[in-house]
Chain A
Amino acid sequence: EAGVTQFPSHSVIEKGQTVTLRCDPISGHDNLYWYRRVMGKEIKFLLHFVKESKQDESGMPNNRFLAERTGGTYSTLKVQPAELEDSGVYFCASSFWGVAGAPREQYFGPGTRLTVT
């Protein structure tokens, strides 16, 4: 079975440009998470989808970031306009549904390395 896939693997853009990252979760996983690791910092939560609904977007840095999951399948994360501090590795993870507090293993994609120059 295919794991979580992310596209592109690398993206280099100039400040002010727009970039869209894509995540394809494991088939059947209702939960989809976005995380980000900025250089020198820990991996931080961005947001969580349950199917097509945003369950928690408390980690989104600002309104330059827009995440969507139309149809509850793949998800996109758009950064517009990109700033230098947006550089980092963006990870997507997916899992089966679990009740609140009950851990369900999250399977991570390989990440998208975004560099804003």
Chain B
Amino acid sequence: TQLLEQSPQFLSIQEGENLTVYCNSSSVFSSLQWYRQEPGEGPVLLVTVVTGGEVKKLKRLTFQFGDARKDSSLHITAAQPGDTGLYLCAGIRAGGTSYGKLTFGQGTILTVHP
């Protein structure tokens, strides 16, 4: 059983289209992070959301944390070929002394065609 369900696993779209990636759980997270990973490299942090209902924007990327802190979404507006890559959500579970132990979703492989 996966703690963080990320969907879709694969996304293939045309340049200029919009897309949303979802990350859902039945557990509460004290924070939720989104990473992007390129081939041969480790994940690179894009954003951290910590407050229920929080919305953060990073250029054409919009990140939202659910009110109950159990889910998050990543929305990309007017996708570009340079957005192609693996996107990962990861969270730190609420409660206890997790000290940064990250729980990851399976990832979404995004391909944006010119």
Contact = CB atoms under 8 A, between A and B. Distances in A.
Tell me, yes or no, whether A binds B: yes
Contacts of A56: 98-99, 101
- Interface size range of chain A in the complex: 20 to 34
Contacts of B42: 4, 91, 93, 107-111
- Interface size range of chain B in the complex: 20 to 34
B41 to A, nearest CB: 5
* Secondary structure call for the B interface: loop
Interface stretch (B54-62, B77-85, B102-110): B102-110
Contacts of A103: 30-31, 33, 48, 50, 92, 100
A48 interface: yes
Interface centre among B30, B33, B43, B90 (most CB of A within 10 A): B43
Interface centre among B42, B48, B94, B102 (most CB of A within 10 A): B42
